[in-house]
Amino acid sequence: MKLLKNILAGAAVALATLAGPGGAWAQNVNNCAWPLGLSPSGSGNFLAPDAAARYWAMPFPKAYRTMKIQGTFPNARYFSFVAYSGDASGRPVETTGSRHDATITPDGSGSGASYTVRVSRDPSMSGATNGMAVTANDAWVVLRMYAPAPDPTLSGYALSGGVPLPAISFDEAPPLATCPPPSTADGQGWHPVRSVNKLEDLRSFFGLLFPAGFDINQPTDYDETLSGRMWFSPPRVPPMLLFPNPDNKYILASPGPYQRGRVIVIRAKAPEVADRRAGRGPGAQGRGSGRAQGADMRYWSMCNNDFALPIAAVGCVSDLTVKLEGGWFTVVISDDISRPEWLRAGVNWLPWGDEQYPKLVFFRHLLASETFPHSVQQVVKGCPAGCLNNDAVFDFTLPDLPRRAVISAAGPAVQRLMGEYYPVAAWCDKSTFERGGWQACLGRP
């Protein structure tokens, strides 16, 4: 516990150093907005990003009182702003405020395409229209966008929903240029490689989250072979150092080391989403409901991730890409370098990835309906202070991964609550799966 407190205190001090007026991030703030981009591609593949999502991070140094964010509603399934803060008191980075698209009021009374969000040190701003409040400490604001639609004009904004990233200004000063700046020399548009995810920026960010000496410790049972059933369960609260999205809720499984000659087989009923297309137009989800009419949730996905720094995504299946059979989906995880030929067409495949890295498999639900009783949101209702289903959650605090027995113990309670939507999973001999499919490995969940 003392080591953990020292690590978290070190992370907070790193934030103060990097984002403060005299730190390295101050120089960036004076140059451009959104200097870090997270995705499963390249140097942005850290903190377990979803394959169908893109994230951008912007520092909010404590030298400033306000941050104004001005943008256009993107053509995307979902977007949001979340603020994270930390200090040197030993507390971890924590979520301080958030706004997702359904809670953002458009500017004026026109088409509703533009918006203005204000982040402030004033606590009363949390209740203001489009307001978010943060503490007096240095902070980060993260823009998330899920399933941005392809850009029909091919103007270079496909990853940001067909619109430029929103403008950032501090204390009512003129807006910063967005990273990367537009090129006027050759007329060919934007060149992200020039200034997003610079090596020094990534080093600074990792220095905040994972200071020198930080290591993700594995439980003593990690190397024990799992004979069969693999259980998914939710943490009471996701580790804050992973910058969790408050609109997402997660269950996860720890599969242990890869087993030669075997595969992981997962089977569940798929939640309904309103529209499986990538985008539905600016602000099309409607403002106030948080989800589209008649849907179980806004989005869901299952991802395999390396549980080793920088916690990279290996592969994901989501409602956008999943192959369904009668409303159900089957996922097979194997150590093949590409989708194996022995998998029939209706089965979804995820790569195990590099065998030297331990794995965590995450199943996420985004903005589930209150009337849908089988979501992860219903399982963790009341958490962390007063979990209604205390037998269905476990404690997960970095840098330690709980013992598999702790995760598994909560699994039956989670399955009881989620019913057919719970991912039943097991290690299975590859030859058994080839002969009898998921039924031979799982029975009938």
Q: What is the domain partition of the chain in residue ranges?
A: 2-209, 229-442
| Res. 6: pLDDT tops 50 | no
Q: Which residues contact 315 (CB under 8 A, 6 or more apart)?
A: 51, 303, 304, 350, 351, 353
User: pLDDT higher for 215 or 408?
Assistant: 408
Query: 71-75, 91-95, 307-311, 368-372: which range is least confident on average?
Result: 91-95
Backbone angles phi, psi at 423, to 5 degrees: -80, 105
User: pLDDT higher for 261 or 397?
Assistant: 261
User: Could you identify the residue written with the tokens 């941005």?
Assistant: 148
Per residue in 413-426, pLDDT (tens digit) is 999 999 999 999 99
User: pLDDT higher for 209 or 289?
Assistant: 209
Query: 5-9, 81-85, 430-434, 436-440: which range is least confident on average?
Result: 5-9
* Average of per-residue pLDDT across 150-165: 77
CATH topology of domain 2-209: Jelly Rolls (2.60.120)
Per residue in 199-212, pLDDT (tens digit) is 878 887 887 777 77
Q: Identify the CA nearest to 320 among candidates 369, 273, 366.
A: 273
**Element holding 13 (H helix, E strand):** helix 2-19
Q: Identify the CA nearest to 128 among candidates 171, 68, 79.
A: 68
| Res. 276: pLDDT tops 50 | no
* Average of per-residue pLDDT across 326-343: 96
What is the arrangement of strands in the sheet containing 424-429, beginning at the earlier edge strand?
Answer: 229-230, 424-429, 262-269, 328-334, 348-351
| Res. 317: pLDDT tops 50 | yes
| Res. 289: pLDDT tops 60 | no
Cis bond before residue 271 (omega within 30° of 0): no
Average pLDDT, the chain: 83
Share of the chain above pLDDT 70, in %: 81
| Res. 186: pLDDT tops 90 | no
| Res. 288: pLDDT tops 60 | no
* Average of per-residue pLDDT across 121-146: 92
Cis bond before residue 399 (omega within 30° of 0): yes
pLDDT at position 111? 55
Backbone angles phi, psi at 273, to 5 degrees: -115, 155
Per residue in 67-118, pLDDT (tens digit) is 999 999 999 999 999 999 875 444 456 788 899 999 999 998 655 689 999 9
CA distance 147 to 279: 7
CA distance 68 to 167: 8
* Average of per-residue pLDDT across 239-260: 93
Tally of CB atoms within 10 A around 345: 5
| Res. 180: pLDDT tops 80 | no
Contact of 320 with 274, CB cutoff 8 Å: no
* Average of per-residue pLDDT across 263-286: 68
